[in-house]
Structure 1
């Protein structure tokens, strides 16, 4: 019988994180009364010391948010192919034999969230932005997009980075100038990975029948672009969809549960957002 019963999310800033609400709800739904899930303000400089100070006999795993998804990687014994592909670990599991293993649940979380809405494959897609979440979006699209992926970026350097990642993932990828981003919604699926307000200007230039939009933000919600797409009858998904689906996979890895309690975790996330 394992003594492992602790998990937590690390990052900086971290006070806004919904992860504790999601995982505590999951533990309750699974009847894991002894389990706890914390939240710790940890930056890149403090990460090695924090990890070294953990009693791994008690700790089952960690969730990592910015700016730690890359900084954690040198501290691990094993990193999954998915995490290596996008150069980001958001999940660490402390195994029974003392190993620290890193994975990325954002990528399958994106795929599962889309599949929940009936989007199993698309003939073409677009990505708005070129940061860490855009990398996860491309890795997800490598699984479900049958044709070209267009990434809208602000700089030549970002364009080169996205093109290189697309090549590694085997995607038919091209880049386009950010200012043309409104045309992204003409594709069957667009994933927006940008900060709040970045895509507001595109709302006015939408096609009459835009494709599905997955905007990874959950606050503010809905964004202007999401609202404009919804008004035109498009399928829209948000950051809570991603957060819940990736957290379900983390829960399964931490606890060994065969299926994470998706409904309970979503309800907890919705309640936390409603509470402000």
Structure 2
């Protein structure tokens, strides 16, 4: 755990069920990068009040987990294309009271596809139907991939992530 000081920037996780894994990961990276940041996880049942707290307390930002990824869209000032494309937010940055929402899962996949010039005629198989799967499918579709299949335990959830994907036979 970093030693707290008055110049430290606070980043938080807002989740229905936060875990210590993300907290340890973020704090490890902040220390490794020499950043004067600390990351703490919080549970909330009132996402509007929590987001108002991020703004009002001057937190540097927050990560957003289920079940709040869609609900926070109406609570921020700006929405980057990565979040708008899938109507799902996983990161909010606070720049002097201006809250900007993005989806770093979408950004990471889109960036990797562009950096490695992956052939969009290749078939894509995505396993799962959660928020990450939604971001992955949208990033592949945004990069011109047409042959995208989702494998999910629940056919309705899988179809919602990738409406034109093929159902398993």
Q: TM-score range by the shorter chain?
A: 0.7 to 0.9
Structure 1 distance, partners of 2:147, 2:100, is 33
Residue 175 (structure 1) aligned to one of 145, 166, 169: 166
Which structure shows the higher helix fraction?
1
Residue 161 of structure 1: how far off its partner (Å):
6.2
Task: Show the counterpart of 1:272.
Answer: none
Q: Is the 8 A contact 1:121 1:144 kept in 2?
A: no
> Is 1:140 aligned to 2:155, yes or no?
no
Q: TM-score, normalised by structure 2?
A: 0.77
Partner of 2:24: 21
* Residue aligning to 2:118: 120
- CA deviation after TM superposition for structure 1 residue 61, in Å: 0.5
RMSD: 2.9
Residue in 2 that maps onto 1:37: 39
- Specify the alignment match of 1:8 in structure 2: 12
Q: What is the aligned partner in structure 2 of residue 193 from structure 1?
A: none
**Is the contact between residue 150 and residue 158 of structure 2 (CA under 8 Å) also seen in structure 1?**
no
Give the drift of 1:7: 0.4
- Between Structure 1 and Structure 2, how many residues are aligned? 161
CA distance in 1, matches of 2:56, 2:8: 8
Structure 2 stretches lacking a partner, 5+ long: 1-6
CA contact (8 A) 2:72 2:89 kept: yes
Structure showing greater Rg: 1
Alignment of 1:67-86 (within 5 A): 67-86=67-86
1:59 and 2:50 are equivalent in the alignment: no
Where relative contact order (Cα < 8 A, 6+ residues apart) is larger, the structure is: 1
TM-score (norm 1): 0.50
What whole-Å deviation, never above 9, does each CA across 1:179-230 have from its counterpart, x for those lacking one?
x4xxxxxxxxxxxxxxxxxxxxxxxxxxxxxxxxxxxxxxxxxxxxxxxxxx
Write the distance in 2 (CA, Å) between the matches of 1:175 and 1:107: 22
Counterpart position of 1:95: 95
